[in-house]
């Protein structure tokens, strides 16, 4: 039996404000807990130190063969070909050079989790990338140095990475309404489908995003999973199965590799 662990973070902001990232993260966390039987840690509006500490503690909790989801909804930025997830209170990032000090290096998170040798790790970055670094001028703050898009990422063995638009392309702010962003919306819609591999689910998400945006937004994904990963197994039509259907939290959420010997 695999442990199924998820760290879900959503940050809204004061500078370059986003209105619905915390809601995105909370809604996705609820689906994982209630319908996918995950142990979920949900955090919102984390400042730099809190975000570093939360992620590091989560990495230390991972054991070999765990199934892991890391989800982040908020601002991200690219600097020197590296992608950074921005904390709440991001006005401390006053130049691209101190991005590495206050923001979170996304590739480092991926590499650190992969080193533990989990069964699989799914990284989902619902990030908005048109971001202007706040630069202090006297006692005021003005905005400059606009950074666009996330760079391509490397997927170590047993990992899968996805974010909601092509590499080096700006994703417009989709958080002005009360609705989820498109990436999170379609993840929630498809991720609990029984018996479907995660790669197929992401293809469905990608197709829905393309259709919804008239081919403007295209999901980026890269991975090197070496086993078929299924979130919800097929359930037979038996009394016990019907009981499970009425209580989705009882349904196993990942297939163990079968012994072929």
> Tokens 């293809």 label which residue?
203
Share of the chain above pLDDT 90, in %: 49
Q: Is the pLDDT of residue 14 over 50?
A: yes
- Of 146, 232, 129, which is closest to residue 181 (Cα–Cα)? 129
Q: Is the pLDDT of residue 9 over 80?
A: yes
pLDDT of residue 46: 96
- pLDDT single digits (tens) 164-186: 876 666 655 554 446 788 999 99
- pLDDT single digits (tens) 104-138: 999 999 999 999 999 999 999 998 765 666 555 44
pLDDT bracket for residue 150 (50, 70, 90): confident
All domains of the chain in start order, with CATH = 4-250 (3.40.50.1460)
pLDDT of residue 17: 76
Mean pLDDT, the chain, whole residue set: 80
């Amino acid at each position: 039996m695999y442990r199924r662990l998820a760290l879900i973070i959503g940050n809204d902001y004061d500078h370059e404000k986003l209105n619905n990232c915390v809601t995105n993260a909370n809604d996705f966390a609820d689906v994982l807990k209630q319908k996918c039987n995950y142990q979920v840690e949900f955090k919102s509006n984390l400042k730099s130190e809190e975000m570093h500490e939360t992620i590091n503690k989560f990495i230390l909790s991972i054991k070999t063969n765990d199934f892991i989801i890391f989800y982040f909804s908020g601002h991200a930025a690219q600097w020197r070909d590296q992608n950074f997830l921005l904390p709440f209170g991001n006005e401390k990032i006053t130049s691209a050079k101190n991005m590495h000090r206050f923001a979170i290096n996304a590739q480092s998170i991926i590499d650190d989790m992969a080193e533990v040798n989990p069964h699989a790790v799914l990284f989902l970055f619902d990030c908005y990338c048109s971001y202007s670094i706040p630069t202090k001028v006297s006692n005021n703050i003005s905005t400059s140095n606009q950074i666009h898009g996330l760079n391509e990422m490397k997927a170590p063995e047993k990992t899968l990475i996805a974010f909601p638009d092509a590499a080096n392309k700006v994703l417009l702010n989709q958080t002005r309404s009360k609705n989820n962003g498109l990436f999170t919306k379609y993840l929630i819609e498809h991720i609990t489908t029984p018996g479907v591999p995660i790669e197929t689910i992401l293809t469905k998400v990608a197709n829905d995003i393309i259709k919804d945006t008239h081919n403007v937004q295209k999901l980026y994904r890269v991975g090197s999973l070496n086993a078929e990963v299924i979130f919800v197994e097929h359930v037979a039509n038996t009394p016990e199965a019907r009981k499970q259907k009425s209580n989705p939290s009882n349904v196993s959420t990942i297939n163990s590799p079968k012994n072929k010997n």
